[in-house]
Amino acid sequence: MARTLSTRDSTFETEFTALLGAKREDSPDVAETVAKIIADVRSRGDAALVELTNRFDRVSIGAEALRVSESEIDTEIAKVTDEDRAALELAAERIRDYHARQLPPDQSWQDAHGATLGWRWTAVNAAGLYVPGGLASYPSSVLMNAVPAKVAGVRRLAVTVPMPDGIANPLVLLACRLAGVDEVYRVGGAQAIAALAYGTETVRPVDKITGPGNVFVAAAKRAVFGQVGIDMIAGPSEILVISDGTGDPDWIALDLLSQAEHDESAQSLLITTDPAQADAVRAAVEARLETLERREIAGKSWEEFGAIITVSDLDEAAALSDRIAPEHLELVVDDPETLAAKITNAGALFLGQWTPEAIGDYVGGPNHVLPTARSARFSSGLSVMDFVKRTTIARMTPEALKAVGPAAETLAKAEGLEAHGLSVRARLDQLNEGGA
Amino acid sequence: MARTLSTRDSTFETEFTALLGAKREDSPDVAETVAKIIADVRSRGDAALVELTNRFDRVSIGAEALRVSESEIDTEIAKVTDEDRAALELAAERIRDYHARQLPPDQSWQDAHGATLGWRWTAVNAAGLYVPGGLASYPSSVLMNAVPAKVAGVRRLAVTVPMPDGIANPLVLLACRLAGVDEVYRVGGAQAIAALAYGTETVRPVDKITGPGNVFVAAAKRAVFGQVGIDMIAGPSEILVISDGTGDPDWIALDLLSQAEHDESAQSLLITTDPAQADAVRAAVEARLETLERREIAGKSWEEFGAIITVSDLDEAAALSDRIAPEHLELVVDDPETLAAKITNAGALFLGQWTPEAIGDYVGGPNHVLPTARSARFSSGLSVMDFVKRTTIARMTPEALKAVGPAAETLAKAEGLEAHGLSVRARLDQLNEGGA
């Protein structure tokens, strides 16, 4: 079972550091394989895409079938039950409402010398979204990536989703439709990333690629970074629950297991001020693990990476939490707002016992693509900001140039950059000659 | 001399594509050397730092001298002339004023069901800024990195700056002081990045590292990414000037040369609607190149990567500009605002003939750390946003959970994630039992 730590133990610091440093993922080095696939797609285009797709996905298609037609999407979508469709529509609507508030405003103002300063935001022109095939093909992830892109104003949004054995996921295609995805391609793996980054006869290149994927997809994203922008490379999922003893042990257990069931490398942690609750949650996890469908995965994750930490008070909990910098942080305490104010490093906060983390995965509104592996110390979850870029703006007037130009000239000289200084001086000289 | 292109030529598309694709930088692969240095600093800490510093910087210091003392900084700063100090102070003030407007607001609201949603921004706790030594040690770059960090609220800002042969740059140290830098270390290269990322006895680790550096520094930043956040890996500088024939050819020539003088790999481009102006600017560049201090560097850059493109009209210019996605874009035209509205991909815009790009390098206010190598298609210049991160917030009420919980349960089932669904169901069941 999961390990137990207590801040009262003299060994705590050592044990906690070990927990923080635990290597949860062994990524095999596939860089060479991926480099070959990317080079192949770059040089042979569609021909390579077709060949690789037919081989890896056990199908037999031609280039004309790389793109999934609208009528095919219609046919697949028709298979979705009314209940599933309504749930997905509710999720799309709530995610759209939340992300619409993230659109950053342009700014423009005049300084004391009459210079106009500011910046302008524009959407990335074209974006590509990778969607895994098979078991990890989640319609919710399509919404979480595609909706922010469309809210940002991305004009062309292309999805690549492998369809092993020719089998499509109707809910994934419905999510594409609901989110306003413009193009869908039945391609996966590093070849899909290469096509999005460099383009082929059928797939026009994009400027930014987001979305989760296996180790080949992750390596391909790393390799094409620079040619295009990419989102973060996400690691295994994590949850930290902080409790003051008031939460229902079974609810907490289920919240911990809802991360553990994702992946054997997922990490579920509980920090509690109440040793009795620690025991109760541990027992509840064990009980639930007996019947859970994904008990093998969840059990391994809990056993290997799970932990229950008892602390003296909530301040201690907040301090440990900031060191963990969890992807998901549930505050199951009497006054979650007060505790939340003490938290700095967390991808997403879930306040109070009525906010299970699973709400955030689907219908809360906030994004479920969040920083893992302690990166909440310096990065944020996916948002509209990932699909826009800022252009700064400056417009000097003759008066403004007279006021600040000489300082620029001075600094250019100090840095040994003569042309920089001359470009200012030439203009100042004319202003002085003209008596302006 | 620089090449000439015209959109009227049948060969234009081929030539323009070649210009866009020109490989301007050959980075030797130093990954292995860098990996060894990082491993050495991680395992031996200060001892490795001291050894590497003494070897590479030809000094002989002990661990106690790794940190530059406040009194040493005082001594160096006293050497700065009043003119240089005033110029740097003006720059710092204007950069601070500009970036203070970038602080993003927190948001919080209630949805129709009473759920509280929103997000909160917090500063990165500790940041490290790499400052190159020697010729490329620019006080302006210290301000451009350090001021946004401090405006963001970074509590601990550490600078590493190598001091070859023990020689400090007084203006760099003054820039550190003006920007509020908390710690300065006389360490450079991959060893500085390793110390900032992993910490040593003397240097505490940070969460994010920014700042320019040579190929070893860039490789080290790539290597520690994940352990800490990093800013972009900047390529050689670029400028594009778009003119309608109204600009002074000598001013445009100086603006082009102020990029070219940075680096032999820099790229300076002019797009003009006026063939006569094209000739005049070319002649002006040649004339200025005869006397320019850095004529060797600027001449090579202009010859190898410079270009003058004549176009039919400004719409054509805007379309080409978006394909170039320049780091710096000067609009030397009669009505720059109208043209600016047609531009999507650019790091920084400089409007009108009174706004030489060099103003933006020093005292304009906007940041001079900008996306290079066409990455303005998907990324932005350095800003306060690089030193903050967002934590999303959700708080359900029983009523809100009743309203949206069943949809989450439905989607969890569809994705085969049972515990996700159960974590919602357990709460809904209690609400239903309680008749709430």
pLDDT, position A229: 95
| Residues 6+ positions from B233 with CB-CB distance below 8 Å | A226, B218, B221, B222
CB contact under 8 A, A381 and B359: no
In chain B, the percentage of residues whose pLDDT exceeds 70 is 99
Same fold, B31-75+123-230 and B235-378: yes
pLDDT, position B29: 83
> Nearest chain A Cα to B100, which residue?
A118
* Residue A178: CB atoms within 10 Å: 22
- How confident is the prediction for chain B on average, in pLDDT? 96
CA angle B248, B254, B260 (to 5 degrees): 145
pLDDT, position B435: 56
A334 touches chain B (CB under 8 A): no
Can you name the residues that pair with B332 across neighbouring β-strands?
B243
CB < 8 Å to B294, chain A:
416-419
Taking the alpha carbons at both ends of chain B, their separation in whole angstroms is 80
pLDDT, position A436: 47
> Nearest chain A Cα to B401, which residue?
A354
Q: Name the binding residues of B for NAD(+).
A: 130, 191, 214
In chain A, the percentage of residues whose pLDDT exceeds 90 is 93
Length reported for chain A: 436
- Weakest-pLDDT range from A133-142, A176-185, B71-80: A133-142
CB contact under 8 A, A83 and B294: no
Long-range contacts of B10-18, Cβ-Cβ distance < 8 Å, separation of 24 or more: B16/B309, B16/B320, B16/B323
- Weakest-pLDDT range from A160-174, B219-233, B239-253: B219-233
B381 touches chain A (CB under 8 A): yes
The amino acid at residue A129 is L
- By the 8 A CB rule, do A158 and A181 touch? yes
* Phi and psi at residue A243, to the nearest 5°: -135, 150
Compute the nearest-CA separation of A202 from chain B (Å): 20
Residue A99 has pLDDT above 60, yes or no: yes
In terms of C-beta density within 10 A (0-12 exposed, 13-18 middle, 19 or more buried), how is residue B384 classed?
buried
d(CA B181, CA B143): 10
* Phi and psi at residue A130, to the nearest 5°: -85, 130
A415 touches chain B (CB under 8 A): yes
For B316-374, how does the pLDDT look when each residue is reduced to its tens digit (9 = 90+)?
A: 999 999 999 999 999 999 999 999 999 999 999 999 999 999 999 999 999 999 999 99
DSSP letter string, A285-322: HHHHHHH-TTHHHHHHHHHHH-EEEE-SSHHHHHHHHH
- The distance from CA B414 to its chain's CA centroid, rounded to whole angstroms, is 43
pLDDT, position A270: 98
d(CA A210, CA A202): 20
Interface of B with A in 15-44 (CB under 8 A): none
Burial pattern B331-342, b for ≥16 Cβ within 10 A else e, equals bbbeebeebbee
Q: Which residue's entry shows tokens 């001013």?
A: B251
Compute the nearest-CA separation of B292 from chain A (Å): 7
Q: Give the catalytic positions of A in this structure.
A: 327-328
B273 touches chain A (CB under 8 A): no
**The architecture CATH gives domain A235-378:** 3-Layer(aba) Sandwich (3.40)
A292 touches chain B (CB under 8 A): yes
| Residues 6+ positions from A22 with CB-CB distance below 8 Å | A267, A305
Q: What is the 8-class DSSP label of residue A327?
A: S
Interface of A with B in 106-135 (CB under 8 A): 107, 109, 111, 115-117, 119-120, 122, 124-125, 135
Q: What is the gyration radius of the CA atoms in chain A, in angstroms?
A: 26
- Annotated binding residue at A191? yes
Helix (H) / strand (E) element for A108: namely strand A107-110
Long-range contacts of B33-39, Cβ-Cβ distance < 8 Å, separation of 24 or more: B33/B190, B33/B216, B34/B190, B34/B216, B34/B219, B34/B220, B34/B223, B35/B223, B37/B189, B37/B190, B37/B191, B37/B194, B37/B216, B37/B220, B38/B190, B38/B193, B38/B194, B38/B197, B38/B198, B38/B220, B38/B223, B38/B224
pLDDT, position A435: 55
Distances (CA, A) of A249 to A151, A237, A257, B421: 39, 21, 12, 17
Burial pattern B159-185, b for ≥16 Cβ within 10 A else e, equals bbbbbeeeebbbbbbbbbbbbebebbb
* Residue of B423, B427, B430 to mutate for A, most A C-beta atoms under 10 A: B423
B92 touches chain A (CB under 8 A): no
Residue A234 has pLDDT above 90, yes or no: no
- Weakest-pLDDT range from A31-40, A228-237, A362-371, B148-157: A228-237
Please tell me which residue in B238, B261, B328, B330 is annotated as part of the active site: B328
d(CA B347, CA A356): 41
A94 touches chain B (CB under 8 A): yes
A377 touches chain B (CB under 8 A): yes
CB contact under 8 A, A391 and B359: no
| Residues 6+ positions from B108 with CB-CB distance below 8 Å | B116, B117, B118, B393
Q: Name the binding residues of B.
A: 130, 191, 214, 237, 259, 262, 328, 361, 415, 420
d(CA B143, CA B149): 10
CATH class, domain B397-433, is mainly alpha
d(CA A195, CA A202): 9
Can you name the residues that pair with A208 across neighbouring β-strands?
A127, A229
For B198-234, how does the pLDDT look when each residue is reduced to its tens digit (9 = 90+)?
A: 999 999 999 999 999 999 999 999 899 989 999 987 8
Across the range A230-256, mean pLDDT stands at 94
Q: Which ipTM score applies to this complex?
A: 0.96
Taking the alpha carbons at both ends of chain A, their separation in whole angstroms is 80
* Residue of B396, B409, B413 to mutate for A, most A C-beta atoms under 10 A: B396
Residue B408 has pLDDT above 70, yes or no: yes
d(CA A207, CA A387): 10
Q: Which residue's entry shows tokens 């790499």?
A: B130
Token pair of A298 as six digits: 């969840």
CB < 8 Å to A115, chain B:
364
Q: Which CATH number fits domain A396-433: 1.20.5.1300, 3.30.460.80, 3.40.50.300, 2.40.110.10?
A: 1.20.5.1300
What CATH topology corresponds to B31-75+123-230?
Answer: Rossmann fold (3.40.50)
Q: Angle formed by the axes of helices A249-260 and B418-433, to 10°?
A: 160
Reported confidence tier of residue A22, pLDDT bands at 50, 70, 90: confident
Compute the nearest-CA separation of A8 from chain B (Å): 26
Tell me how many residue pairs between chain A and chain B have CB atoms under 8 A apart: 369
| Residues 6+ positions from A291 with CB-CB distance below 8 Å | none
d(CA B294, CA B300): 10
Coil/strand/helix, residue A37? helix
Reported confidence tier of residue B436, pLDDT bands at 50, 70, 90: very low
- Annotated binding residue at A415? yes
CATH class, domain A31-104+125-230, is alpha beta
d(CA B377, CA B156): 32
Give domain limits for chain B.
31-75+123-230, 235-378, 397-433
pLDDT, position A25: 76
d(CA B8, CA A259): 60
d(CA B196, CA B206): 6
d(CA A241, CA A396): 53
Reported confidence tier of residue B21, pLDDT bands at 50, 70, 90: confident
- By the 8 A CB rule, do A120 and A191 touch? no
- Annotated binding residue at A169? no
Compute the nearest-CA separation of B138 from chain A (Å): 6
> Nearest chain A Cα to B351, which residue?
A395
Across the range A201-218, mean pLDDT stands at 95
Encode chain B in three state secondary structure.
CCEEEECCCCCHHHHHHHHHHCCCCCCCCCHHHHHHHHHHHHHHCHHHHHHHHHHHCCCCCCHHHCECCHHHHHHHHCCCCHHHHHHHHHHHHHHHHHHHCCCCCCEEEECCCCCEEEEEEEECCEEEEECCCHHHCCHHHHHHHHHHHHHHCCCEEEEECCCHHHCCCHHHHHHHHHHCCCEEECCCHHHHHHHHHHCCCCCCCCCEEECCCCHHHHHHHHHHECCEEECCCCCCCEEEEEECCCCCHHHHHHHHHHHHCCCCCCEEEEEECCHHHHHHHHHHHHHHHCCCCCHHHHHHHHHHHCEEEECCCHHHHHHHHHHHCCCEEEEECCCHHHHHCCCCCCCEEEECCCCCHHHHHHCCCCCCCCCCCCHHHCCCCCCHHHHEEEEEEEECCHHHHHHHHHHHHHHHHHCCCHHHHHHHHHHHHHHHHCCC
Q: Which residue's entry shows tokens 């550096």?
A: B213
Sign of CA dihedral A272, A277, A278, A280: negative
A53 touches chain B (CB under 8 A): no
B186 touches chain A (CB under 8 A): no
* Residue of B230, B378, B430 to mutate for A, most A C-beta atoms under 10 A: B378
pLDDT, position A433: 85
Residue B107 has pLDDT above 80, yes or no: yes
- How confident is the prediction for chain A on average, in pLDDT? 96
Token pair of B269 as six digits: 């481009």
B379 touches chain A (CB under 8 A): yes
Interface of B with A in 294-313 (CB under 8 A): 294, 298
Across the range B300-312, mean pLDDT stands at 97
Of the candidates B120, B354, B378, the beta carbon closest to that of A207 is on B378
> Nearest chain A Cα to B230, which residue?
A378
* Residue of A120, A329, A410 to mutate for B, most B C-beta atoms under 10 A: A410
Coil/strand/helix, residue A19? helix
* Residue B236: CB atoms within 10 Å: 18
In terms of C-beta density within 10 A (0-12 exposed, 13-18 middle, 19 or more buried), how is residue B65 classed?
middle
- By the 8 A CB rule, do A425 and A161 touch? no
Please tell me which residue in B76, B261, B264, B327 is annotated as part of the active site: B327
pLDDT, position A304: 95
d(CA B332, CA B312): 16
Of the candidates A262, A354, A423, the beta carbon closest to that of B427 is on A354
Token pair of A237 as six digits: 């999922």
CB contact under 8 A, B426 and A248: yes
Helix (H) / strand (E) element for A360: namely helix A357-362
Across the range A96-103, mean pLDDT stands at 98
pLDDT, position A337: 97
B205 touches chain A (CB under 8 A): no
A419 touches chain B (CB under 8 A): yes
Length reported for chain B: 436
